[in-house]
């Protein structure tokens, strides 16, 4: 303490003398500040650490597995792993090493955090939640200290709640557990990860049993040492829900909502291919908001359909295209819809020329749930993709910039055909092909589809025009209306 006071006093004296002599003291003050920082950096880091709250804990967990829908396979695998925590005596008799860590891997919004909370309730454990970003700081050693504190807090919380186990949930662990050496200019990442590895190695089943659960959608970024048995022993995949999974999720989120007699949640589930649980919750919420806007006390099927379009495309915009642009947009979207119905009957969900988000028009499909695709099915998908542009060519003799995204999607599908060995090039990969060969094959695939699609649309030019005029009159038509018009004509 005396040395500290003498140092500060000496520095102040020197500064005062320099000021009296009229010397520019800025360089000396800067140098002194750097010196003081280097001397007292540990105290500064401790002060910063003391100002940051501990990871949040939830003393009352109200989420259980019955409240999580659409993830039956993941729940089954997770429950099996949790039996090692629940049935400790049986595990001990059989000589089984308790699991230390479980990684929940899947796209955002699929319920990874909810599953971790349900796991804590199922095992009657204390629960602490944090995220990978909370561990990384510019000060060396702070992240490692936070990791030690996290495990200590989990044990203290379990003792306080008189429980024998604790669940630590680390969201976005790819920030904390990224492969060592990836951040060459920032060794703090590696030190923090090393501390996590040490803490997981030190977990003892005889003491407060700690289960570390982590969530990520980038498993490929994680360090191999983190994924080895004895640390994160299980990897549970949490995929996007299937149609029946989406139906289950919709039923859960509509329990507290007044639904109209016309609501068919199965149809809503069929039209939300690729939606996560978070998206589906948003759909039900938006549908309720639309009912409120229209001064209704019940939610209708149309509210759900409008909510789906809003979630996908965004809110309607005020900008109104010109009459000529609207005609082109209608022709474009009807072209998509007609080819879609031709190749995959009952696939059109709705068609609109009402601008939403960045789109001036939109044809929404009921996507297939097939796990495998053939060359034929991929070519048909390309045909649906380029049909809008080809319809424009049939009626206006040229494309517009509205087809840009369609052609980009067609290129991606053509690359998929090549990568799967379904093209005339045989078994190969786009990454190893010369650019000239790759471009030629992609162009050949797409041009052949465009020629065939143009022939079909040219033969049905009168029908396409009638459908487009009907769409312009009504702004939006449902898939059923679209099919009825085709069959009636």
Catalytic residues: 333
Q: Which residues contact 355 (CB under 8 A, 6 or more apart)?
A: 316, 317, 319, 320, 321, 361
Q: Coil, helix or strand for 440?
A: helix
30 phi and psi angles, rounded to 5 deg: -60, -45
How far apart (Å, rounded) are the C-alpha atoms in residues 338 and 486? 9
User: Residue 444: how many CB atoms within 10 A of its CB?
Assistant: 13
DSSP annotation string for 63-87 = --GGG--S-HHHHHHHHHHHHHHH-
Residues 6+ apart with CB under 8 A from 145: 49
How many whole angstroms separate alpha carbon 103 and alpha carbon 215? Answer: 6
Output the CA angle 434-435-440, nearest 5 degrees: 105
Identify the sign of the CA torsion 285, 286, 287, 290.
Answer: positive
Residue 35's CB is within 10 A of a number of other CB atoms, namely 12
- Residue 387's nearest CA partner among 344, 449, 467, 330 is 449
Q: Radius of gyration over alpha carbons of the chain, in Å?
A: 30
Q: Which of 309, 227, 264, 320 is nearest to 476 (CA)?
A: 309
Residue of 203, 117, 236 whose CA lies nearest to 167: 117
Q: Residue 12, exposed/middle/buried by CB under 10 A (0-12, 13-18, 19+)?
A: exposed
CA distance 128 to 170: 9
Helix ranges (DSSP H) in 172-313: 173-176, 188-201, 224-227, 243-253, 265-270, 277-293, 301-313
């Amino acid at each position: 303490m005396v040395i500290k006071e003498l140092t500060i006093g000496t520095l102040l004296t020197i500064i005062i003398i320099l000021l009296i002599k009229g010397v520019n003291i800025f360089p000396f003050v800067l140098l002194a500040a750097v010196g003081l920082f280097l001397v007292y950096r540990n105290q500064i880091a401790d002060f910063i650490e003391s100002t940051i709250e501990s990871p949040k804990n939830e003393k009352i967990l109200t989420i259980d597995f019955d409240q999580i829908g659409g993830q039956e396979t993941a729940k089954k695998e997770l429950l099996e792993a949790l039996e090692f925590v629940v049935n400790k005596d049986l595990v001990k008799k059989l000589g089984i090493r308790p699991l230390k860590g479980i990684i929940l891997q899947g796209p955002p919004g699929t319920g990874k955090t909810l599953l971790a909370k349900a796991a804590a309730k199922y095992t009657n454990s204390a629960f602490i939640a944090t995220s990978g970003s909370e561990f990384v700081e510019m000060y060396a050693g702070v992240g490692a200290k936070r990791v030690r504190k996290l495990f200590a807090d989990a044990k203290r919380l379990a003792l306080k709640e008189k429980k024998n186990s604790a669940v630590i949930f680390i969201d976005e662990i790819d920030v904390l557990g990224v492969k060592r050496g990836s951040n060459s200019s920032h060794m703090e990442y590696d030190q923090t990860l090393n501390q996590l590895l040490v803490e997981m190695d030190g977990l003892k089943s005889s003491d407060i049993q700690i289960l570390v659960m982590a969530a990520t959608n980038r498993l490929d970024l994680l360090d191999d040492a983190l994924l080895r048995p004895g640390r994160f022993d299980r990897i549970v995949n949490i995929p996007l829900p299937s149609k029946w999974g989406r139906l289950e999720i919709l039923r859960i989120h509509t329990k507290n909502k007044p639904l109209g007699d016309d609501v068919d949640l199965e149809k809503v589930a069929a039209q939300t291919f690729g939606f996560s649980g978070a998206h589906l919750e948003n759909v039900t919420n938006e549908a309720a908001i639309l009912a409120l806007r229209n001064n209704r006390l019940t939610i209708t099927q149309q509210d759900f359909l409008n909510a789906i379009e809003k979630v996908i495309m965004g809110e309607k915009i005020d900008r109104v295209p010109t009459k000529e642009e609207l005609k082109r947009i209608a022709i474009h979207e009807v072209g998509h819809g007609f080819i879609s119905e031709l190749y995959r009957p009952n696939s059109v969900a709705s068609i609109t020329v009402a601008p939403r988000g960045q789109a001036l028009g939109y044809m929404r499909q009921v996507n297939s749930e097939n796990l495998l695709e053939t060359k034929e099915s991929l070519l048909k998908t390309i045909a649906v993709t380029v049909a809008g542009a080809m319809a424009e060519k049939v009626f206006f003799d040229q494309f517009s910039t509205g087809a840009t995204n369609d052609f980009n999607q067609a290129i991606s599908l053509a690359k998929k055909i090549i990568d799967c060995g379904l093209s005339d090039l045989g078994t190969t990969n786009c990454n190893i092909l010369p650019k000239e060969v790759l471009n030629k094959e992609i162009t050949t695939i797409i041009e052949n589809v465009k020629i065939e699609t143009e022939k079909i649309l040219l033969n049905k030019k009168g029908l396409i025009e009638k459908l487009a005029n009907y769409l312009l009159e009504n702004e939006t038509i449902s898939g059923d209306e679209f099919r009825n018009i085709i069959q009636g004509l």
